[in-house]
Each structure stands twice: as C-alpha cells, then as structure tokens.
C-alpha cells in the first residue's frame, strides 16, 4: 500500500513546523499568526507540529507575517539531507537543488 506524501515527508514538514514555531515564539501568539494568515489556530498548530503540509504561498505568507525570508523557514541543506535520507534519489536531488538555489 502506498503511503501518502505527507507520511513520506513527515520529517521535513516537522522540521519546517519547528522553524515556524521557533521564529514565531516571542513575536506573536499562534492566534495572532492565524489571524494574519486567515487560518484557524488549529491550522497553525498543525503546521507547527508537521501534521499539515504547507503550500508554497502559505509558506511565503507565514514568512511575511513573521517578517523573515521564506528560506528562514526551510531547514538548511545539512538538515534536509538527514531528513531525506530514505527518499528517492530524484526527489532528494530536486529538494537539495532547490534549497541551494534559494540561498
């Protein structure tokens, strides 16, 4: 049985969510971030816990609300390699190439 893409990439989304939470703390509450993004607080919680995939435009909106670059919310190349260790070579190469180009 094929796993959903969220399950296949859970570690990556968990790392992104951790970065969102770490940057958000001390700046604003989850409720305030949710209001700025026109999301529910539950959605922000799910993003921060890695339970919800983040669409690219939502990631950009989160970065704007937190006044950081979208690349600040994406794990560094060394972290991505560890997170994607069990992924396909094609998928791993694409993500690593994208991470390097965005910096």
The enclosing domain of 34 has a CATH number of 1.10.260.40
pLDDT score of 1 = 45
pLDDT score of 21 = 97
pLDDT score of 29 = 97
Residue 103 lies in a domain: no
Number of structural domains found in the chain: 1
Where in the sequence is the domain holding 43, given as residue range(s)? 5-73
Residue 101 lies in a domain: no
Residue 88 lies in a domain: no
Q: Which two tokens stand for residue 53?
A: 């995939």
Q: Sign of the CA dihedral 94, 58, 52, 13?
A: positive
Model pTM? 0.71
CA-nearest of 15, 20, 18, 17 to 77 is 15
Residue 24 lies in a domain: yes
């Amino acid at each position: 049985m094929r796993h959903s893409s969220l399950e296949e990439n859970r570690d990556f989304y968990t790392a992104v969510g951790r970065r969102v939470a770490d940057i958000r703390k001390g700046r604003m509450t989850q409720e305030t971030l949710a209001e700025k993004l026109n999301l529910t607080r539950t959605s922000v919680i799910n993003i921060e816990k890695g339970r919800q995939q983040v669409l690219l435009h939502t990631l950009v909106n989160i970065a704007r609300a937190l006044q950081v670059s979208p690349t600040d919310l994406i794990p560094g190349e060394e972290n991505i390699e560890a997170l994607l260790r069990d992924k396909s070579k094609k998928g791993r190469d694409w993500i690593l190439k994208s991470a390097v180009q965005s910096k």
